[in-house]
Amino acid sequence: MPFEFEPQAIPEVILVRARVFPDPRGFFMESYRRSQFAARGIPQEFVQDNFSHSTRGVLRGLHYQKDPHAQGKLVMVLRGEIFDVAVDIRRGSPTFGRWVAAVLSANDHTMLYVPEGFAHGFCVLSDVADVFYKVTAEYASDLDRGIRWNDADLAIPWPVAAPVLSEKDARMPSLRNADINFVYGAGA
């Protein structure tokens, strides 16, 4: 099997390890196979690919897109290393407001699946990081939302004290004041 799937402390968030085939030329790996991901509960259809390039200390997030265009994300690092975070923002969820984090690296080809109903963010640990992620819904600017990266209620131990933020991310509300329309178990 070309993948290992490891549910995290919030089991809907899944760490994915791809099997890598190195040789003197470099390596080959599959980064996605629909049948295997679907068998592990990861949606079968990704409709948009995104790419970001960032330098050390940049923090992007915590972002989400509201229903009806909520996005699940399959995140991988093509160069460098990031501290990647998923926050459960599904009202009524037993893990509402809790988060999980993983270090994703181009060196070990780990990926993280962040489902719909979760806010997502990452901080760059290496000099540069190229992050590629597939999403399950196209970008809809009118539904784009976020949560403040340093919300005291979340208490995420980001590995940078003074991150480089966009103006938009610096103005995000706390989880308590966020515009959220996810309900745990809705549509299940």
Decide: 17 and 36 in contact? Cβ < 8 Å. no
Terminus-to-terminus CA distance in the chain, angstroms?
Answer: 29
Q: 6 exposed, middle or buried (CB, 10 Å; 0-12, 13-18, 19+)?
A: middle
Torsion 150-92-69-52 (CA) sign: positive
Of 64, 109, 113, 133, the catalytic one is: 133
Distance of CA 58 to the CA centre of its chain: 15
Q: Residue 177: which residues within 8 A CB-CB, separation 6 or more? A: none
Q: Please state, in angstroms and rounded to a whole number, the distance separating the CA atoms of residues 46 and 54.
A: 23
Count how many residues are written for the chain: 188
Of 63, 64, 113, 120, the catalytic one is: 63
**Is 133 an annotated catalytic residue?**
yes
**Is 63 an annotated catalytic residue?**
yes
Q: Please state, in angstroms and rounded to a whole number, the distance separating the CA atoms of residues 155 and 111.
A: 23
Please identify every residue annotated as catalytic.
63, 133
